[in-house]
Amino acid sequence: MIFKTVIDNMFGNFVVYADKEIKVKIKNKKIEFSNDGPNIEKNLINEIFTQYRKGINGKFGLGLSIVKQSLNLYNYTIKVKNMKKGVLFEIE
């Protein structure tokens, strides 16, 4: 059930922000979600998992906070970083 919530929220965000491409990679006990959309604003990237913080096209600012809280319950971590083109989320 946890991963259904995580995947629903991650893809919900990625559909909004991706330009043309969404990738999911599972390797070495790590799941990576990436897209080719715009980078997360520098003033927001450290707070992206905080409730009600959202990017320009965000709706409610709850999805990523739900993802992080759900993962924390099972001792998983999530990190985000901007790439040259797009954004990468890593779950371990």
- Integer distance in angstroms from the first to the last C-alpha of the chain? 17
The pTM for the full model equals 0.85
Is a pLDDT exceeding 70 seen at residue 27? yes
Q: Which residues contact 75 (CB under 8 A, 6 or more apart)?
A: none
Q: Which tens digit of pLDDT belongs to each residue from 34-84? A: 999 999 888 888 888 887 666 666 555 677 888 999 999 999 999 999 999
Largest CA distance in the chain: 33
Domains of the chain, CATH where assigned = 2-91 (3.30.565.10)
Q: How far apart are CA 41 and CA 39, in angstroms?
A: 6
**Residue 85 has what DSSP assignment?**
S
